[in-house]
Chains A and B, each alone.
Chain A
């Protein structure tokens, strides 16, 4: 009994265990529901699952199913970020325990009952539990935001290496706080129209409304909601990676004000989408710029730090370029988390900017379904990149070392980038090839994307199996991780 209790404590009370549980939940959902589309559907797996597993997949309900699936996975990602924040940022132990417990119950309730409701027949008790779970997650967000309040005297800092005001207000904490507060408001931005579903407001996917010039206020709120939530998840992750790498110094002092200002402007821009749709886009673009600059500063800091640390380990005092490059690349987990932020610009940001600039001239000359493919690919890649950064960080937290660290890190970087690059080509294929000649290109990029995703999922599965086996050991890593109070990267956690 004690053995079970210890393992339960690890999985549901320790930071690393909670992150592991959430990643495992997402992995299972991805593996299971990934069988319903793409190549698995073409292989007939979907038809087999419907026949043998009792799935209820009415075509009329496809959009609703997808919305619930996105939400359940997003909630688990938000939970992971919350666990990492409560471990990295100085808050009271009691607050950490309360926040983590609330969000865990919330996301698991949403996850389990939402997916059963969506895919195994409609039981409205389950739908109610799905909503109740999300309400708990929101409440955990309120607790987190309150815990992150940056103007309390206990959290003032005069560390010369960290961005702070003259009065000692920690600007990194302000950035975390504003991100959390903006997330709460943005969640409401979706919840209000969401509460109207079934009361005259109809389920839709945003990508299906792209050529609809006149959208209702509720439509705009939903579209704004999904954009800002993904953006804020990315902002949170950038801050988290900053804590992981102990971001500090001059670049930190520049980056934090930029991150604060950018987060505020983007959020204000998205929230103003309903009344001022046309100007909102300009505001959002303006706000994106400082956030991207702040991320670039983090990358610059992180890569320099990784390189210097490795060179110091090797006792190389006057390195040449090749030695510096080898030092930078020696740890794929830390290098990769930052590289993925850079790569995102090639496959997401630049593609998006190009589409916006050439909208009328090129994109709107295509059938709407082609533009839809581009948009869907665009945000899937962004979500995928966020997932790989979390995976790389978790692999570091889990203590992956030596050859396993190298193999896992490089497989995730190389193959995910292969997949994301292939998807970026697929979504913009009409720029290179006309419809009648597209099949060889489509076959190739889909194959590359499938190889890439399958390889990353295999690496993830290996990581999960390793941790599962570890759970069966009496003195496994889990025991050691359970004993830890915080995350190694941060020395000032949890006062």
Chain B
């Protein structure tokens, strides 16, 4: 009976909808409320980005002739492509590493007692809100010539000379993994909390062990959180200028520093703009692609 009598889905009763926002509805209309932020974004987010795109289509800042020269220059140069590849590859490595250790941490949180949950969440949120420069600086202390890693290895006699740990690809990945870890853990915590705890017990009472329960029940159900976490970490680590530059040093070039170098140090704004556009669209492209794939999988798995 309720099936035929239910209000058609997606259509709120006209008055019931209005009531949810009666607060200022008669003082200011929705559009008046959205307008300030909307205009701000047009003027100071989308406007500048569009301008950046426009500048990238020129040879110099006088903006006379429209050309794709900056893009061809970028795309037909092995060094440039190497920088792009290294940046995207870095993002992938960081994402995989944070997922590998972040998921278990989120899982641990979801089964912990309230007291430990409070402590864990503090440990996860604190770094997120602590200055990234400070956290990056920590890695310089840890990985430096006189840092804790080298001192320990020397003391154990495993090394005779301090090893060069800083300014290596691995150092950048590890440092970034630390910086981005909260962005991976938090969405997974949220999605794990929304899974009915009875499902785990149901699975185990049906005879499935811990591993099977995890891989066949918990992991598939937490996929949306994993996806959100991966996208956040990827987008963030690909453009993490501070850490890439300080831990990676001058010899490892990544896209963000390349933009900065071309704009500020070489004063080549059109080329810097083109690099920025390429970075922007590669990140955007990957985000859209992954989202589409995820939807595909969801449609397939849910009939």
Say whether A associates with B. Answer: no
- Report A's interface with B, CB cutoff 8 A: none
